[in-house]
Structure 1
Amino acid sequence: MSIPIRMLNEIQYCERLYYIMHVQGIFEESADTVEGSAQHRRAEKRMRKGSVAPTEMWEAAPISLHLGDDNLNIVGKLDAVTLEEGKWVPVEGKHSSAPEDNGTFRVESYNLQGTAWPNDQIQLCAQGLLLHANGYPSDFGYLYYRGNKKKIKVDFTKDLIELTTKYIKKAHELHSQPIPKPLKDSKKCFRCSLNYVCLPDETNYLIGASTNIRKIVPSRVDGGILYISEPGAKLGKSGESLTIRYPDGRSDEIPIKDVIHVSLMGNVQCSTQLTHILMACGITISYLSTHGQLIGYTLPPTTKNIFLRKHQFVKFQHSDIALRLSQWIIHSKISNQRTLLRRNGSASKILLQEMKELRDKAITSESIESLRGIEGRAAKLYFEAFPTMLKIKDLDKDILMKGRNRRPPKDPVNALLSLGYTLLTRDVVATCAGVGLDPMFGFFHSIEPGRPALALDLMEPFRPLIVDSIVIRTLNTQEIDIKDFYQGDDSCQLKNSGRKKFFAAYERRLHETLTHPGFGYKISYRRTLDVEARLLARYLEGEINEYRPVTTR
């Protein structure tokens, strides 16, 4: 197997980063990577049109080449190659800034110049080796750092060539090895674009390798969810932006780099061109009916981390593993339900005591079937006491909630709960797919065609923390009131005005932070969903010994 030369940039920076990106196939887009890709596309488009003129980045109009070599065992696309002094010169543009010149970098036993980052020099040198192997003499190249607009000449010295060759060999070896251990207390982790995927300090803490947890993981996810529910709206693409055209002639334009998910509700159209670019950027699309029922998703190809899914399919079928995971999921769910009741309601001490006993029984249950019975009894008690958390004056609580009901919901509370659980399911499905897990294959919920069993498993502890708390808040503050519902004899539905208010409240809640009970730092609920899925992945891959979901105190 030939190694793409762009991969060599990561392996010198961190072998675990290389493994995550190129062995597991996990790459998460950020605002920086989207903008960097856009810059590459614009430059490539100009070169195809023949409109590239000499600039400070290159002295002569460049060409691009696709090259490979069986002896080096590497392949790659050279975005820009030019001639200088009779030599072929690769030119690589970087979105970041060049380092301050500190003389030299010492990498293992090799000395590299200090004007460019070592990992960038190795990637550029690999391009030079490819040129030379294909009959194009190349002794040096240029790195152009767009961040501070510096053009750095990199000579392909003996040390740089030997180090590059060494990392090519190391890259091949890593494809047949377990994932490397996380770096310990390294400053590199702060600059790493995938620190929230790697979870270095969190993993070291859970395996007992360190007691130090730094605030490395970003508190919030870059970008937001785009909701489109106006009938007849049409989504398209213009340059690097997503466009929305409404039937009345209005239009909006949103940078694609600011979007992490697109949620379409009802009669809304999305162009093929936009779908292609969203998939290329790893942005999922969900489709909901006019009444809020989840119909389906458009996801990028599930090529990420096939090895993780292999572990998932094997381990979830082990009864002991499935039971242990289910025990902690239901323990956490009941605990979070009970905490919500204690903080916001006036449930009887007898009811709260029974929920506490059920919570503790969940950990010692002997089968999935008995655990489902425990969960069912706890849910019955919880929803009996749910109306005590509603504090609306001059309104009969029976109008708001008549027990737990659905398909269709028969009262305002259940209409909000159903929509909220649909949105949460959508988000957890997208999270699972982004991590590399199969959202359809779970360990607690029964596996049925079309049912996202794993997403339903992982979201159980978050139902009270996210959705139930939103319902209580929006009704108690009268952000959503009785006038926002259509109420019939056998069903209750949100009006369009109510849906927009609920979408806004849902996103606010997902952006709110909590103090993570295990790691002690503040993190948004949306980021917490991502961390939970990745910790489950660490458990399945054997890096940590147990997975325990978030349980609030």
Structure 2
Amino acid sequence: MKKTYYLFNPGTLQRKDNTIKFTPIEEDGNGLEHEGQPRYLPVENIAEFYVFGALNANSALYNFLGQNDIAVHFFDYYENYTGSFMPRDGLLSGKMILAQTSAYQSKKRRLELARKFVEGAAFNMTKNLRYYNSRGKDLEGVIEKIEQYAAMLPNAEAVDEMMGLEGNIRQTYYEGFELIINDFSMGGRSKQPPKNEVNALISFGNMMCYSQCLRAIHQTQLNPTISYLHTPGDRRYSLSLDISEIFKPILVDRVIFKLLNKKELQEKHFETRLNRCLLNPSGKKIFVQAFEERLNETIQHRSLKRKVSYRHLIKLECYKLSKHLLGMEEYKPFKMYW
């Protein structure tokens, strides 16, 4: 099975025959930088790279990565997703682009898809809340409020109105974080920059989820720039934002609750500077490991009658959306059933 590699150290990534060679840059006890021990990675075992440090690479490497269908996702020092190198779009289909565009240009069809993304997200948020409500957290009021907003979704007559309801649902959902998380307080949602530890985790995790959705879209015939809930824009893969709404409660939030409540992440794993809170390198590694474990967990799929990983569920979501756009079957967002 192919693996995802996370590069936290700055260094050099290069092709070495038919393998990938990564040479990290490390600091000694005096703060002087030097080249660390190179690591050789068989190309057939690599799914993608996540790069969190400065990376030296050349066109020969990227040509090699493209030939082997290996993506590279880049994050800046502040943990913001900055972009991806994606292999050539070998699966893109003119028929699919026309179908996506047609659905976007139809007010009725776009609104229908936007509503389904929000319905799926709201259901999965509520499922998280019910899980913790059954374990002694008093979340009935939060759940009831979200259900009231969700009941209004079928009456929304414009995507902007749908986005407003989605914002209300998510704001209410985040109120529940104060009751679920034991030793940290979220306060209000702060993004750019995140003001505290919980907000830092949400921002970092959401970017990780967004990247996973982008990769899954790229493995289908869907075009990632044509979206329905989020408005398509220049230089952004907005369909990833649509699909990630469904999976953030499942992949990101459950990981956050686990890491904080089990004290796997503590204050020492964060750093605060210039009114901004970030995970430090050791904190990032802990979160990334837990996130990767979550992606590789499996569930018994009701329709397929077999076990599938959470990572594969994202790709299945893309296939369902593709079939809907091509008129083959109605799209139904993934909803947790356990």
TM over 0.5: yes
**Partner residue in 2 for 1:485:** 270
Percent identity at matched positions?
A: 24
Secondary structure of the residue aligned to 2:256 is: helix
Cα shift at 1:518 = 4.7
Alpha-carbon distance, 1:540 to partner:
1.3
Deviation at 1:266, TM superposition (A): 2.7
Q: Which amino acid aligns with 2:213?
A: V
**1:436 CA drift (Å):** 2.2
Q: 1:516–1:550: 8 Å Cα contact kept in structure 2?
A: no
Which residue matches 2:175? Answer: 384
Residue of structure 2 aligned with 1:313, choices 77, 81, 101: 101
Asked if the contact 2:130–2:139 (Cα under 8 Å) also holds between the matched residues in 1, the reply is no
Q: Distance in 2 between matches of 1:255 and 1:418?
A: 32
* Whole-angstrom CA distance in 2 between matches of 1:240 and 1:433: 24
Equivalent residue of 2:13, what SS? strand
Q: 1:459 aligns to what SS in structure 2?
A: helix
- Cα displacement string for residues 86-118 of structure 1 (whole angstroms, at most 9, x for unaligned residues): xxxxxxxxxxxxxxxxxxxxxxxxxxxxxxxxx
Are residues 1:332 and 2:116 paired? no
Report what 1:359 is aligned to.
150
CA distance, structure 1, for counterparts of residue 88 and residue 144 of structure 2: 47
Q: Secondary structure at the match of 2:50?
A: strand
Secondary structure (helix, strand or coil) at the match of 2:5 reads strand
Shift of 1:359: 2.2
* 1:283 lines up with 2:73 in the alignment: no
Q: Is structure 2 residue 292 aligned with structure 1 residue 504? A: no
2: CA distance, partners of 1:344 / 1:451 = 35
Q: RCO greater where, 1 or 2, for CA within 8 Å and sep 6 or more? A: 2
Please point out which of 48, 54, 70 is paired with 1:261: 48
Letter in 1 for 2:62: T
Most deviating of 337-346 and 409-418: 337-346
Match of 2:7 in 1: 228
Q: CA deviation at 1:330?
A: 0.5
Alpha-carbon distance in structure 1 between the residues aligned to 2:189 and 2:64: 41
Number of the residue aligned with 1:549: 333
Contact 1:283 1:299 in 2 (8 A): yes
Q: Quick one: distance in 2 between partners of 1:226 and 1:486?
A: 24
Q: What's the RMSD between the two structures over aligned residues?
A: 1.7
Structure-2-length-normalised TM-score: 0.91
Alpha-carbon distance in structure 2 between the residues aligned to 1:470 and 1:335: 18
1:364: how far off? Answer: 4.0
Which of 239, 243, 250 pairs up with 2:17? Answer: 239
- Alignment of structure 1 residues 163-312 onto 2, 5 Å: 222-231=1-10, 233-247=11-25, 248-304=35-91, 305-312=93-100
Name the aligned partner's letter for residue 148 of structure 2. Answer: E
Structure 1: give runs of 5+ residues left out of the alignment: 1-221
Q: CA deviation at 1:495?
A: 0.7
- The alpha-carbon deviation at position 376 of structure 1 amounts to 1.5
Task: Say if 1:229 and 1:268, in contact at 8 Å, map to a contact too.
Answer: no
Q: Report the CA distance between 1:524 and its aligned residue.
A: 0.7
Task: Give the whole-Å Cα distance in 2 for the aligned partners of 1:249 and 1:419.
Answer: 27
The alpha carbon displacement at 1:347 in A equals 4.0
Please give the secondary structure, in 2, of the residue aligned with 1:435: coil
Task: Give 1:184's aligned residue.
Answer: none
Matched with 1:38 is none
For the 8 Å contact 1:261–1:285, the answer to whether it is kept is yes
Alpha-carbon contact 2:6-2:51 (below 8 Å) kept:
yes
Give the residue type in structure 2 aligned to 1:255: P
2:38 maps to amino acid: S
C-alpha distance in 1 between matches for 2:145 and 2:282: 40
Question: Displacement of 1:520 after TM fit?
Answer: 4.6
- Report the TM-score, using the length of structure 1 for normalisation: 0.56
Q: CA deviation at 1:288?
A: 1.2
- 2: CA distance, partners of 1:514 / 1:382: 25
Match runs of 1:447-486 below 5 Å: 447-486=232-271
Aligned ranges 1:411-422 → 2 under 5 Å? 411-422=196-207
Query: C-alpha deviations, 1:455-490, integer Å up to 9, x for none?
Result: 100110111000111111111112211101012462
Alignment: residue pair count? 324
CA distance in 2 between counterparts of 1:520 and 1:244 reads: 40
CA distance in 1, matches of 2:113, 2:106: 11
2:15 aligned counterpart, secondary structure: strand
